[in-house]
Amino acid sequence: MARYVIAHYHEVALKGKNRPFFVDRLVANTRRALAEAGLRRASAVYNSILVELDDQAPWEVVQAGLQRVFGLANFARVERCPLELEAIKAAVQRVVEASTFHTFRISARRGDKRFAMTSDELNRELGAFVQSFTRAPVSLKQPDLTVYVEVLAREALVYGEKIAGPGGLPVGSGGRVAALLSGGIDSPVAAYRMLRRGCTVSFIHFHGYPFLDASSKQKAQELVELLDGYQGSSRLYLVPFGEVQRQVVLDAPEPYRTVIYRRLMVRLAGHIARTEGALALVTGDSLGQVASQTLENLAAVDAAAELPLLRPLIGMDKLEIIRQAEQIGTYPISIVADQDCCQLFMPRHPTTHATAAEMLQAEQHLDFDQLARFALDEVEVIDHGRGGRRKERRSLVPVGAGASAITPGGDG
């Protein structure tokens, strides 16, 4: 015995000659999401994906898996039947009898025009059939139940309730990015939004070792484990930043420390991103939310970056970000108290209007070769995936050129 699910996509269908690439990626991601949920096969059929499951596949697990497949607009359990009117009626009756409703409508779509009846004729015939044994009234605008009938080349598909999917584009279709993951509320949401646009995301977390405890590292791992449900294989880099911050305190003017920290982070993250083949960095910045996120300070940070800096939350306010964090499940993790490196060695009166020229002047006494070694010599690399976690320590300092990882550049 087998059960079937029809999963529809929307944005992917708008693609032109590239559509087969997106569909293939979406099918592969669907198979991955359901690999441990009783999947038999998944294949593309007429702007949708038909999933075949074992009869014992738990529907709650299947539903949760499909709701983590970006690119799916909606999905539903489906009845398959031969292209015969009586067989279609029998399938419609099974769907109707399994539902609770007062009003209904039939929504038939004839994907294969060789079928003798038009969509309107099917709607009328099947509607009259349902009324013959339910006496329920038809409502075309706001029915309690819509019965969908899709006529394909070799069979018909009949189903009722559609469950909303996450939308977006399939992960793996939009290139690789590296997300700076702080452990707070904003950055996991930013990473989620890039996953939803089809990007594969690697994660980079800067922590305050040896001056702070490991609580922020633990939160970063928990956040990546949750977000990994959307892409199936994720890498997290844990970068010690405490000694870097201590050197900045010793060698740079106090008002500029926060912006210097951010500039050093994007330089270091850019170096790590290039080893991953990432084409951009992602941050959780929201314009004007804190002192480091004024337009001037963001521009000063951009000037230090060699890779593009993407800011998916830039126009969102805190309440909007919190609502999305609650929706995707990262909020309960993010609000757990931790010792975040952003709290370490903070200036009393940080500048809010830095310029690139001022930053170069403020950084002139920093030993970038030494800072690169502090941060990159012992990076913890954690791979998350179906096999669990795999952890190793790795030196990412370029051989024979320590300064090349974060040498100032691009500031003009």
More confident residue, 181 or 1: 181
Q: Give the C-alpha separation, 137 to 132, whole Å.
A: 11
Q: Are 385 and 233 in contact (CB under 8 A)?
A: yes
Write the DSSP assignment of 122-149 as a string of letters. Answer: HHHHHHHHHHHHH-PPB-SSS-SEEEEE
Q: Give the C-alpha separation, 99 to 87, whole Å.
A: 19
Token readout for 231 is 């892409």
Q: Are 207 and 239 in contact (CB under 8 A)?
A: yes
On the question of pLDDT at 403 being above 50, the answer is no
Domains (ranges, CATH) in the chain? Answer: 2-164 (3.30.2130.30), 176-405 (3.40.50.620)
Relative to beta strand 156-159, strand 145-151 is antiparallel
Q: Rounded to 10 degrees, what is the CA torsion of 385, 218, 282, 386?
A: 10
User: Nearest-CA neighbor of 412 among 308, 273, 304?
Assistant: 304
Going by pLDDT thresholds of 50, 70 and 90, the confidence category of residue 1 is: very low
For residue 25, CA distances in Å to 218, 232, 267, 310, 351 come to: 32, 13, 32, 23, 46
Residue 345's pLDDT is what? 65
pLDDT digits (tens, 9 = 90+) for 111-156: 878 888 999 999 999 999 999 999 999 999 999 999 999 998 889 9
Relative to beta strand 379-385, strand 388-394 is antiparallel
Q: Are 11 and 83 in contact (CB under 8 A)?
A: no
pLDDT digits (tens, 9 = 90+) for 231-266: 989 999 999 999 999 999 999 999 999 999 999 999
On the question of pLDDT at 346 being above 90, the answer is no
Sign of the four-CA dihedral 123, 129, 133, 136: positive
